Structure 1
Amino acid sequence: MHDIYGRNLDLNLLRVFVVVAEAGSVTAAAERLYLTQPAVSAALRRLASTVGTPLFVRAGRGLALTTRGERLLASARPHLGALVDATLSPVAFDPKTSERTVRIGLSDVTEVWLLPPLLRILAREAPRMRLVILPVQFRTVVEALTGATVDLAVTVADALPAGTRRIELFTGSFVCLFDPRHARIPKRLTLERYLEHEHVIVSYNGDLRGVIEDHFDVQRRVRVSVPSFQSIGALVDGSALLATVPAMVARDILRLRPHLKTTAVPLALQGTPLELLWRGAVDDDEAIRFIRDRVVQVTKDLWSGA
């Protein structure tokens, strides 16, 4: 490719050249371009200087293209037309035929309830679109969004960089999950009994602190700490362990293990809003907007049927 930037070629000069060639005169071209005649003439001189040869010659009261000018016109006109079309024409997005791949950051809590219905919608409405799911949580979502690792994310979040868009999907609550065959949990669980009991917790830091320790000045008797909610049902099932989990997680676990039970958490634990997040830079991306709208749709359908 020629070093057009090194030669200081102003591409606006080509637009002036094409209009002059089509109009046949500087005066007519100046009217079309809303420029003065001296400005058009100066642009033609600059372009001829860059090309290294005259592009027009006088022909009566107008101008005629030289051989070099004719060759330049034949080459420049279709490219300029394509540039104008690319600039002014919106990119057509058809979900039925789109083969876009959209990268979504999901927390382990979200993946279980969101992904299956979302994929069913895509099977009907956008059968060629593909999703890449990446793990995110509140400590990693900022890096994932700012680094464009994901196109959008569904998780809880604190402070976000300027330009980040966010929609609150819902605010969930927490419950205590246990196996009544092994854990003796009263109908009304007191804080004292809660703290005396052995717990399985989820810690994203890989320590013995979970959501309760982060929000209250207490420390539970932790028997095991795991990095995600995926194994909570299996760990509680058949054991005396108590797990404090989002109600949404408990609901999915109880579908598979209906013999387990839940009870209220004996602390004023407020749920954190689950949000749909994306960078403002992709706000106008129709494919990503399509997926965002379907995520919102899945969430509304889920909660309307809850």
Structure 2
Amino acid sequence: MTDNYGRDLDLNLLRVFAVVAESGGVTAAAQKLYLTQPGVSAALRRLQTAMGAPLFARQGRGLTLTRRGEQLLTSVKPHLRALTEAALKPAAFDPKTSDRTLRLGMSDATEGWLLPALVRVLGNEAPSMKVIAIPVQFRSVGEAIATRAVDMAVTVADEMPAGTLRKDLFWGGFVLLFDPRHNRIGAEIREAEYFAKEHVVVSYNGDLRGVVEDMFHKSRRVRCSVSTFSHVGALVDDTPLLATVPTIVASYVRETKPHLATAKLPFGIRGASLELLWPAALDDDDACRFVREKIEILTKDAFARSRELEVRPKRKPKKSRVRS
């Protein structure tokens, strides 16, 4: 804060001064300001004391500006008008000219297929907007939203802090991802064959446990454990390794590696709801709303493309932490 802002001057006094000057008297100004006459008079005295000079002189039943008052009014009016317009009529958001930078939290299972599509859309419709992708997952997204480390997030989430808004994007299932050049698997793999083969798993704990171990208390033959879904496709490619992954991830991998294949799992794995989350304080932010709307459209399209791989449980699944 500069010295000018730090000085003992109530800026509301300038508004009272301008209205009195335009009205020509205290009574009329008090009516416009919804204040009492003594309140307006007291405000003028405070301002004149701060300025160190009289601002009005008596003229009949009204008031007229002194030379110092005229100088002050000339300086103050355009700024008061601009402040009023800024408060009552904020600048309209135009994606074509906006240069906002938004921080978007994304889970590792989401970034690969959503971020490239979002960047392409923004390049076409909001060429000056920028996105900073921040890694989040179910354990960290609450703090990221609460501390405003991100403006919005797309991930699986459990309980969230108060003041968080959330929207379900879709419920996802799991499928088996494999390379058919190394595995002869039909539309559905048998359980014995599944546990006989080697696997790559995604573990956020840095161990050999994934969703199968957690849900069924059965151990797979794990050849490799990684912390994200980013390289699962590359690990499966041209190897006999199997990967149990969210359907949307399998769909994205197959777009870039169409020679890979998917199969139905020998057991139902409860999926989780992928959600769009954002702080309530940004609910009316036009730039954030614009990006949220684009994310909803993109996830709807991606889900539609992945539906042929979807393995739906017979009953509505409970939320689970997405690991594979």
Length-normalised TM-score, structure 1: 0.91
CA–CA distance in structure 2, aligned partners of residues 246 and 253 of structure 1: 11
Tell me the CA shift for residue 166 of structure 1.
Answer: 1.0
* 1:251 aligned partner: 251
State how 1:152-301 maps to structure 2 within 5 Å. 152-183=152-183, 185=185, 188-301=188-301
For residues 16 and 218 of structure 1, do their structure 2 counterparts lie closer, same or farther at Cα, with a shift above 3 Å needed?
same
Tell me the CA shift for residue 208 of structure 1.
Answer: 1.4
Report Cα offsets for 1:138-169 as digits up to 9, x if no partner. Answer: 22222322232222111111111111111111
Tell me the CA shift for residue 27 of structure 1.
Answer: 1.6
For residues 49 and 207 of structure 1, do their structure 2 counterparts lie closer, same or farther at Cα, with a shift above 3 Å needed?
same
For residues 62 and 188 of structure 1, do their structure 2 counterparts lie closer, same or farther at Cα, with a shift above 3 Å needed?
closer
Write the letter of the residue equivalent to 2:28.
A
Tell me the CA shift for residue 186 of structure 1.
Answer: 6.6
CA–CA distance in structure 1, aligned partners of residues 131 and 171 of structure 2: 25
* 1:15 aligned partner: 15
Tell me the CA shift for residue 292 of structure 1.
Answer: 0.7
Point out the more displaced range, 146-155 or 210-219. Answer: 210-219
Write the letter of the residue equivalent to 2:12.
N
Length-normalised TM-score, structure 2: 0.86
Tell me the CA shift for residue 290 of structure 1.
Answer: 0.7
CA–CA distance in structure 1, aligned partners of residues 72 and 205 of structure 2: 64
Structure 1 regions of 5+ residues with no counterpart? none
* 1:124 aligned partner: 124
Write the letter of the residue equivalent to 1:42.
A
* 1:48 aligned partner: 48
Aligned residue pair count: 305
Structure 2 regions of 5+ residues with no counterpart? 308-324
What's the secondary structure of 1:73's corresponding residue? Answer: helix
For residues 94 and 259 of structure 1, do their structure 2 counterparts lie closer, same or farther at Cα, with a shift above 3 Å needed?
closer
* 1:68 aligned partner: 68
Tell me the CA shift for residue 17 of structure 1.
Answer: 0.9
CA–CA distance in structure 2, aligned partners of residues 187 and 286 of structure 1: 46
Tell me whether 1:26 sits opposite 2:11 in the alignment: no
Matched-pair contact (CA < 8 Å) for 2:157–2:275:
yes
CA–CA distance in structure 2, aligned partners of residues 299 and 45 of structure 1: 62
Tell me the CA shift for residue 226 of structure 1.
Answer: 0.8
Matched-pair contact (CA < 8 Å) for 2:248–2:302:
no
Report Cα offsets for 1:126-145 as digits up to 9, x if no partner. Answer: 22222222222222222322
What's the secondary structure of 1:116's corresponding residue? Answer: helix
CA–CA distance in structure 2, aligned partners of residues 209 and 199 of structure 1: 11
For residues 152 and 259 of structure 1, do their structure 2 counterparts lie closer, same or farther at Cα, with a shift above 3 Å needed?
same
CA–CA distance in structure 2, aligned partners of residues 254 and 185 of structure 1: 16
For residues 236 and 4 of structure 1, do their structure 2 counterparts lie closer, same or farther at Cα, with a shift above 3 Å needed?
closer
Tell me the CA shift for residue 99 of structure 1.
Answer: 1.9
CA–CA distance in structure 2, aligned partners of residues 304 and 234 of structure 1: 24
Write the letter of the residue equivalent to 2:156.
V
CA–CA distance in structure 2, aligned partners of residues 256 and 21 of structure 1: 71
Write the letter of the residue equivalent to 2:243.
A
Point out the more displaced range, 166-175 or 133-142. Answer: 133-142
CA–CA distance in structure 1, aligned partners of residues 175 and 142 of structure 2: 28
